[in-house]
């Protein structure tokens, strides 16, 4: 990897760590409002998946940097010293010998065929890790959008259920007054009471679902959802004809698997180069001998050509194992490409279903509201043939239509983000 890109990666890592530190300081503060983008930035500081993908990217960067330094020269030095005091001839004085030597050896690799394959393999690994990091962020964005929409959806459900309770309370009061005025039987009051209890049960169910959605929100973002959640405009959807093939080319996880397959193939070439390709080194040996009479410097330049003939035999096993890894990587890539088609088709189907449901729910709500207003006015006026049962049925129709409209609206938002995830376009 180029030094500039490595520097950018480190700066990005430091920026993410700074965001995490700042986010930890406000993790317990509940903001007054929050947009989807703010929720994503906050979740980014809490995500273990993104942190793990970032660590894998940094590890790939380090491996590539190591591959770039293999061709660098190596220099080492040795110091030897000898001191002898002995008598070599009987009757002669003792001889004292002082001797020392300093050696400096420098080896400069000139040709290593496997090094170029190693550099290519690690560069592909770094690119694949970068795509994995991008996909982890996309998945986090989708999870945040799902939790964000879930809270809004369930809050709307609670509001609709509470409105139904208010209507049921009005109906009960009206039925009680009519019974007291002997204009209706006691069964009318009991029926209104049953309808009120049904509406209260719906409120309780909606509140329980809201608490679950708020728990998922807090798990991702680290803070409870504020009172005001601002959902951005619905993202646009491309009208590409060949949407599946386009998604297969641009989705980060597919690109990552393709790069990892190429990395495995480059590693096969690297292992084979160790077996078949010779190596060439340039060597420099500098010496300085320290004798009693004085120092004697010297140096030697020579080249080393190494021809691989036979090693341990294990290198063939490593090549075979790596070829199997290539086959596994290629199979995983093919499986994911097929899965992309399924993901896109399912997302398109959900989006179309949600759009149709929104149209149906809008007409249903319009009709149910008009019917409830008519039945309610007739019932209040005591029109003959208008019973409380009809009024309760009309209210239930309004509640069902409002619920369907809310569900369809948020299902459409969810389907849009799911389609963007399937396409690999959900980046912020």
pLDDT value at 329 more than 60? yes
Helix axes 243-250, 252-276, angle to 10 degrees: 50
pTM for the model stands at: 0.74
pLDDT value at 130 more than 80? yes
pLDDT for 400-417, tens place per residue? 888 888 888 888 988 999
The pLDDT-based confidence of 73 (bands split at 50, 70, 90) is confident
- Mind giving me the DSSP string for 395-412? HHHHHHHHHHHHHHHHHH
| Domain range summary for the chain, segments of one domain joined by + | 31-423
What gap in Å lies between CA 307 and CA 48, rounded to an integer? 48
Instruction: Tell me whether residue 183 is exposed, middle or buried, using C-beta atoms within 10 angstroms of its C-beta: 0 to 12, 13 to 18, 19 or more.
Output: exposed
Q: Considering only CA atoms, which of 128, 74, 58, 1 is closest in space to residue 282?
A: 74
pLDDT for 355-404, tens place per residue? 898 899 889 889 988 988 888 888 777 766 667 677 778 878 888 888 88
Q: Are 55 and 47 in contact (CB under 8 A)?
A: no
Question: Rounded mean pLDDT of 333-357?
Answer: 90
Sign of CA dihedral 320, 325, 328, 334: negative
What gap in Å lies between CA 211 and CA 274, rounded to an integer? 61
- The CATH fold of domain 31-423: Outer membrane efflux proteins (OEP) (1.20.1600)
Question: Rounded mean pLDDT of 20-24?
Answer: 47
């Amino acid at each position: 990897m180029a030094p500039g890109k490595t520097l950018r990666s480190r700066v990005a890592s430091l920026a993410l760590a700074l965001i995490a530190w700042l986010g930890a300081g406000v993790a317990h503060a509940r903001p007054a409002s929050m947009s989807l983008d703010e929720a994503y930035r906050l979740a980014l500081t809490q995500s273990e998946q993104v942190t793990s993908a970032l660590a894998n990217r940094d590890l790939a960067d380090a491996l590539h940097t190591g591959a770039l330094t293999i061709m660098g020269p190596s220099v080492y030095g040795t110091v030897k010293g000898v001191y002898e005091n002995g008598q070599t001839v009987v009757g002669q004085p003792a001889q004292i010998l002082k001797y020392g030597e300093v050696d400096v050896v420098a080896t400069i690799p000139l040709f290593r065929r496997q090094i170029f394959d190693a550099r290519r393999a690690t560069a592909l690994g770094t690119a694949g890790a970068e795509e994995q990091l991008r996909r982890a962020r996309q998945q986090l964005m989708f999870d945040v959008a799902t939790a964000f929409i879930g809270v809004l959806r369930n809050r709307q459900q609670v509001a609709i259920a509470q409105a139904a309770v208010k209507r049921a309370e009005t109906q009960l009061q009206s039925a009680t007054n009519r019974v007291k005025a002997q204009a209706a039987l006691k069964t009318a009051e009991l029926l209104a009471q049953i309808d009120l209890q049904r509406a209260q049960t719906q409120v309780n169910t909606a509140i329980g679902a809201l608490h679950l959605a708020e728990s998922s929100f807090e798990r991702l973002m680290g803070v409870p959802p504020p009172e005001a959640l601002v959902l951005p405009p619905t993202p646009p959807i491309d009208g590409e004809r060949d949407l599946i093939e386009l998604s297969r080319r641009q989705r980060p996880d597919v690109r990552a698997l393709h790069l990892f397959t190429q990395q495995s193939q480059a590693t096969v070439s690297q292992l084979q180069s160790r077996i078949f390709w010779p190596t060439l080194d340039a060597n420099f040996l500098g010496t300085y001998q320290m004798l009693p009479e004085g120092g004697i410097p010297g140096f030697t330049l020579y080249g080393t050509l190494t021809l691989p003939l036979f090693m341990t035999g294990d290198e063939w096993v490593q090549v075979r194992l790596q070829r199997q890894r290539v086959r596994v990587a290629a199979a995983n890539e093919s499986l994911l490409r097929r899965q992309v088609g399924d993901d896109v088709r399912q997302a398109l189907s959900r989006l179309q279903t949600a759009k149709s449901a929104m149209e149906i729910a809008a007409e249903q709500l319009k009709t149910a509201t008009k019917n409830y207003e008519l039945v309610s006015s007739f019932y209040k006026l005591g029109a003959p043939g208008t019973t409380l049962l009809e009024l309760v049925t009309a209210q239930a129709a309004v509640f069902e239509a409002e619920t369907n409209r809310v569900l369809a609206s948020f299902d459409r938002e969810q389907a849009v983000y799911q389609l963007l995830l399937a396409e690999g376009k959900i980046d912020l």
